[in-house]
């Protein structure tokens, strides 16, 4: 049994929840109310000095990054190699898109949500570059999906599992132009219909929406 410390509204948490459902991970889910500062308790700071969620705890092993958690769960519990291929070239493509989520998609979301949730700003920041950066990210995704059905190839991988919760959250901040990005829309619809994706993402996405709307004037 592993422990997953989580905040459902967090896209990285939702990615891990999707993976736990997909890989049938025996997991105890532990809610952490970040808005109330529960992530800053001494116990959780000992587990994760970065004071972020999710955190995966498997015995003495503690993993603090959602992408590392996805890799670990796929390696330990995944029965289908296609989700995280062992072939070095295929795995490199998956890793590349995991880093894309971590360095491009998620930070562009945080550039807006941190001012709203943490700094108390009552409207989406007016700096146009924030929204332009999200629009640019949609273009990157569309280009990737023009080359393969999924982000890292023609099969679903943990790269899609990582990116899907982030993209569905970005769309609440800047609507996706489905005519301009039809492949991205098709990718979203394809993943949305999967039961393990629905179970891992749907509730948390509503929580994210509620938090953002509650912070807006």
Query: Could you report the per-residue pLDDT of 110-121, keeping only the tens digit for each?
Result: 999 988 877 777
Question: What does the pLDDT look like over 60-69, one tens digit per residue?
Answer: 999 999 999 9
Confidence at 81, pLDDT banded by 50, 70, 90:
very high
Provide the pLDDT for residue 118.
Answer: 73
Q: Which residues is 63 bridged to in the sheet?
A: 56
Q: Using the CB atoms, write b or e for 148-169: b if 16+ within 10 Å.
A: eebbbbebbbbbbbbbbbbbbb
- Sign for the CA dihedral angle at 182, 160, 209, 120 comes to negative
Can 66 be counted among the known catalytic residues?
Answer: no
Q: Do residue 39 and residue 104 come from a single domain?
A: no
Q: Do residue 139 and residue 71 come from a single domain?
A: no
Q: Do residue 59 and residue 106 come from a single domain?
A: no
Report d(CA 158, CA 73) in Å as an integer: 10
44/140: higher pLDDT? 140
- Both tokens of 91, joined, read 């795995």
Tell me whether strands 55-58 and 27-31 are parallel, antiparallel or unpaired: unpaired
Q: Do residue 88 and residue 52 come from a single domain?
A: no
Q: Do residue 94 and residue 132 come from a single domain?
A: yes
Residues of the domain holding 65: 2-81
Provide the pLDDT for residue 217.
Answer: 63
35/98: higher pLDDT? 98
Q: Which residues is 2 bridged to in the sheet?
A: 27
Confidence at 98, pLDDT banded by 50, 70, 90:
very high
**Backbone phi, psi, residue 63, to 5°:** -115, 130
Per-residue pLDDT at 136 exceeds 70: yes
Report d(CA 37, CA 53) in Å as an integer: 12
Provide the pLDDT for residue 90.
Answer: 97
Confidence at 33, pLDDT banded by 50, 70, 90:
confident
Q: Is the peptide bond before 54 cis (omega within 30 degrees of 0)?
A: yes
Per-residue pLDDT at 204 exceeds 70: yes
Provide the pLDDT for residue 76.
Answer: 97
Angle at alpha carbon of residue 176, lines to 173 and 182, rounded to 5° = 160
Q: CATH number for the domain including 90?
A: 1.20.1050.10
Report d(CA 199, CA 196) in Å as an integer: 5
Report d(CA 192, CA 90) in Å as an integer: 24
Provide the pLDDT for residue 59.
Answer: 94
Q: CATH number for the domain including 13?
A: 3.40.30.10
Provide the pLDDT for residue 216.
Answer: 83
């Amino acid at each position: 049994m592993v422990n997953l410390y989580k905040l459902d509204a967090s896209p990285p948490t939702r990615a891990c929840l999707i993976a736990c459902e997909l890989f049938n991970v025996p997991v105890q889910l532990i809610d952490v109310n970040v808005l109330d500062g529960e992530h800053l308790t001494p116990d959780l700071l000992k587990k994760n000095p970065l004071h972020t969620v999710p955190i995966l705890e498997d015995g003495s092993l503690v993993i603090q990054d959602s992408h590392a958690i996805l890799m670990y769960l796929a390696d330990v519990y995944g029965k289908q190699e296609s989700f995280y291929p062992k072939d070095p070239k295929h795995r490199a493509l998956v890793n590349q898109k995991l880093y894309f989520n971590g360095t491009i998609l998620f930070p562009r979301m945080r550039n807006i949500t941190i001012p709203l949730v943490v700094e108390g700003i009552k409207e989406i920041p007016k700096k146009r570059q924030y929204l332009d950066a999200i629009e640019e990210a949609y273009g990157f995704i569309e280009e990737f999906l023009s080359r393969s059905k999924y982000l890292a190839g023609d099969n679903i991988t943990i790269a899609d599992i990582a990116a899907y919760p982030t993209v569905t959250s970005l769309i609440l901040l800047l609507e996706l132009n489905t005519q301009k990005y039809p492949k991205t829309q098709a990718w979203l619809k394809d993943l949305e219909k999967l039961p393990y994706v629905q179970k891992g993402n749907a509730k948390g996405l509503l929580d994210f929406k509620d938090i953002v709307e509650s912070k807006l004037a």
